[in-house]
Structure 1
Amino acid sequence: MYRSLVLPMIAVAAFSYMVWHVVSSSKATPQTDPVVEPSRAPFSEVVAGVGLIEPKSENIEVAAITSGTVVEVKVQEGVDVAAGDVLFRLDDRQLQAELAVQQSLLEEAQATLRRWRQMPRTEDVPPSEARVKKFQADVELRRDQLQRTRGLVAKNAMAEQELVEREQAYHAAQAELTQALAEDARLKAGAWQADVAVAQSQVERMEAQVAQARVELDRLAVRSPIAGRVLKVDVRPGEYVGTPPGKPLVILGDVSTLHVRVDIDEQDLPRLEPGMPGQGFVRGDAEQPLQLSFVRIEPFTEPKRSLTGAGNERIDTRVLQVIYAIESTPREVYVGQQIDVFLDKSKGRAENLRLDVGQ
C-alpha cells in the first residue's frame, strides 16, 4: 500500500517546487537609479549631436621631419609655447661636421676671390718695371752696336757676318722688350674678369651649400608652428623616430578658446539652420550646461568616424560637422572630451523670422 503512494507523493512535491520557483522568479526586479543622470534636451525643439572638444586651432600634430635619435625633449604636457619654440631635438653631430667642412670650403673660395681682386700685388710691380728697364737698356746697347758695326762694314773693317749677327741680336732684344712691356701691362691691369667671375661663382656655390647644411641642421630642431599649449608628448630622449604618416610625437593647439566639433546626422540636416544657439553637457555632468555659440559649418558631409558607443548608433551614417565655441566653462573641461550638444531649433526659427520681418 505504501509503495503505491510513493510516486504520487513525489509528483506532488515536484509540482509544488515548480510552482514555488515560477512564482519566486517572476517577481519584478526593483528599479535602481542611474549612477549618472543622462543629458536631457533643455529646449522644446532641438537638433542633437555628439561633439568633441578641440582647440581653436584644431589639434596640431607635430612629427619629425627626418629620421634620427631624439637627444632632447624641451617641453612637457600643459606648458604654453610660442611660435618657433623648440619642442624636441634630434642628434645633429653628423650634420655639424658636414657644416664645418662646407664652411672651410667657403672660406677657401672667398680667399681665392680676394686674391684675384687684390691683383696686382704691390710687391710684384717694381720687379716688373725693373725688368722692362733692363730690356730697354739692352735694346739701346744692341742698337748702338749695330750702328757701329754698319760703319765698320762700310769701311771694310768688319765682315758682313758680324753685321748680320748684330742685326739679329738687336731684333731679339726688341722682341724681349715687347714681351716685357706686355707682361708689365698685364700685371698692372689686375685679374682677368673671367677669372674673377669664376671665383665669384665658386663663392656663391659654397655659400649655397653652407646655407643648405644649416637648413638641414635646423630641421633637426622641431619647432612649434603656433603659439599654444602642449596637449600631449609621445617622445622620449634616446628614442629613434622615423617619419611614418599619422605618427604625431607632440600634439598642441591654441586653447585660448575651446571649440566643439559636433557631428550632425544627415537625417537631421533638413532641420539644421546656421547660427542656431546651443548648449552642451559633458559626459557625467547633466547639471552644468556649457553655453555654445555658432562659429561655422564645414560644408562637407562625410562618414561618421567618432563613435560614442551607444547601442543604437549606426556606423554607416554620414554626418555634417558644425563648429561651436564654448562661451563659458563652469567646470574644467579638456581637449578630446566628448559632450552631448543640443541646438535650439525654436530660437533659430524665431531668429530667422525676425530677420525676415526686418527686411
Structure 2
Amino acid sequence: MRQLFLAGAFAALGTGILIIADQHQRANSRPAALPEKAETVIAQSSVHAAGRIEGTTENVLIRPQFPGRIESVFVARGSRVEKGQVLFQLETRRYEAQRDLASATLSAARAKRMRLVAGARDSEIEAAKQEMIAAQARYDSSKTRFERASKLFSRNALSSQGLEDYRADHDANLALLQAAHQRYETIKADPRLADLMAADAEIASAQAQLDMAEIDLQRCSVVSPCPAVVLAVEINPGEWISPEMPDAALELSNTERLRVVADVDERDALTVTLGQTCEVTADALPGQHFSGVVVEIEPRMEPKKIYGGWAGERNETHTRRVWIDLRTDVTLPVGLPVEVMIH
C-alpha cells in the first residue's frame, strides 16, 4: 500500500515537471515584441563654402576709345566715383578744331539753301533784264543788216562771202539774245524741288559731321559707367595711351550692390538653388553676420579656385560657383575672404 502511494506521488511530480518545462519552452519560443516604429526625422542641413566679396559685376576695365595723350587724371586708387564722373581727360585741341570746321561747313550749307529759297536780289534781276534788252538791240541791228545784204546780193551788188558774214553775225546775235532771255527767266524763277532736296542733303551731311565731331570731343573725357571704387590707376598725365595697349588705364569695381561669389563643393553642388538664404561671416569682422540670397548659379563645374583654409577642407575637387546678393549697408572691401552658410 505504501509503495502504491509513493508511485502515485512520483507520477504526479513528474507530470508537474513536464507541464512546467512545456510552459517554459513555449515562453522562450515566442517572438520578441517589435518596438514601435520611430518617426523619421529630417534635419535641415547647410552648405559650407568659401567665397569673397565683389561688386555687382566683374571688375570694369577702363580704356579710351581712341589713342591720345593724357592731359589730366582726376581719380586715385581707392577713391569712390559716381556714374558719369570724369576719370581722366585726353588732349582736345585736334577734336575742337574738327568741331569748329564741321560747324562752319554746316553754316555754309544753311546759307546756301537760304539764298536758294530767297532767290536773286532785285539788282541781279534788273541786270539780267538789261542784258536781255541789249542782246535784243544787237539782234535787231544784225537782222536789219542781214536783210539789206540779202537784197544787195539778189542784185549782184554783194559777194557771197559778204552775205555769209552778215548771216553769221545775225545768227550769233540771235543765240546771244536767247541766252540772255533764258538767264533772265532763270534768275527770277522759284527754286526747283531737286535743288532744295540737294541743299537739304548737304545740310544733313554737315550736321552729321558736326555731331560726330562733338562725340569725339566728348569722348576725350573718359567717365565712369557706374558708381564704383577705383581699384587701380595705371596712367599719368603726359603719357600716350591707346585702346590696343595690354593694360587698362583704370580698373573699377561696380559698387551699386555688393555680392559674394562662392565655390560650392561637388558633393553639395546639386543642393543649391536660386532664392536660398545665406549667412556670411568674415574673419576680419568677428561676431558680425550678414544675410544674403542666392541669385545666380553657374551651369558648369570647374576646378576649385576659392579656398577657405579651414580644417578638413577639400582642395583637389571640382566646385560650382554661385553668386549671392549681400544685404548690408556695411562698406566691405572688394576681394575680402568670407565664409558662406547656404541654408
TM-score where L is the length of structure 2: 0.68
Cα RMSD between the aligned structures?
A: 4.0
SS of the aligned residue for 2:322 comes to strand
Per the TM alignment, residue 49 of structure 1 is displaced from its structure 2 partner at its CA by 0.5
Measure the CA separation in 2 of the matches of 1:93 and 1:172.
Answer: 58
Q: Deviations over 1:55-92 (max 9, x none)?
A: 3345433333333333223345343413x332221222
Partners of 1:141 and 1:240 in 2: CA distance: 78
Letter of the 2:231 partner, please give it.
K
Match of 1:253 in 2: 254
Aligned to 1:209: 209
Structure 1: gaps of 5 or more residues:
1-42, 345-359
- What residue is the counterpart of 1:74 in the other structure? 74
Secondary structure in 1 matching 2:248 = coil
Task: Name the CA shift for 1:319/1:93 in 2 (closer, same or farther; >3 Å).
Answer: farther
Cα pair 1:64 1:249 within 8 Å, conserved: no
**Structure 2 unaligned residues grouped into runs of 5+:** 1-42
Q: 2: distance between equivalents of 1:192 and 1:322?
A: 68
Q: Are the counterparts in 1 of residues 125 and 187 from structure 2 also a CA contact under 8 Å?
A: yes
Partner secondary structure for residue 322 of structure 1? strand
- How many Å apart are 1:47 and its aligned residue? 0.9
Provide closer, same or farther for how the CA distance between residues 333 and 165 of structure 1 changes in structure 2, counting only shifts above 3 A: closer
Structure 1 residues 317 and 210: CA distance shift in structure 2, 3 A: farther
Distance 1:86 1:60 in 2: 15
Amino acid at match of 1:261: V
Equivalent residue pairs, number:
296
Q: Determine the C-alpha separation between the residues in 2 that align with 1:273 and 1:165.
A: 107
Contact 1:142 1:166 (C-alpha < 8 Å) held by counterparts: no
Aligned equivalent of 1:342 = 341
Counterparts of 1:48-197 in structure 2 under 5 Å? 48-76=48-76, 77-82=78-83, 84-111=84-111, 114=114, 118-141=118-141, 159=157, 164=163, 168=167, 172-189=172-189
Kept after mapping to 2: 8 A contact 1:231/1:253: no
Distance 1:143 1:65 in 2: 74
1:263 corresponds to: 263
**Residues 1:305 and 1:122: Cα distance change in structure 2 (over 3 Å):** farther
Specify the structure having the higher radius of gyration (Cα): 2
Separation in 2, partners of 1:107, 1:268: 69
TM-score, L = length of structure 1: 0.65
Query: What is the DSSP-based 3-state SS (H/G/I as helix, E as strand, rest coil) of the residue aligned with 2:300?
Result: strand
1:335 CA displacement: 2.5
SS in 1 for 2:97: helix
- Residue 333 (str. 1) matches residue 343 (str. 2): no
Mapped partners of 1:309, 1:70: distance in 2: 44
Deviations 1:119-167 (CA, angstroms, capped at 9, x unpaired)? 534322112111222233344455666777889999x8x9456995897
Identity %, equivalent residues? 24
Query: How far has the Cα of 1:201 moved from its partner?
Result: 4.9
Aligned to 1:230: 229
Deviation of 1:48 (Å): 0.7
- The amino acid that maps onto 2:248 is K
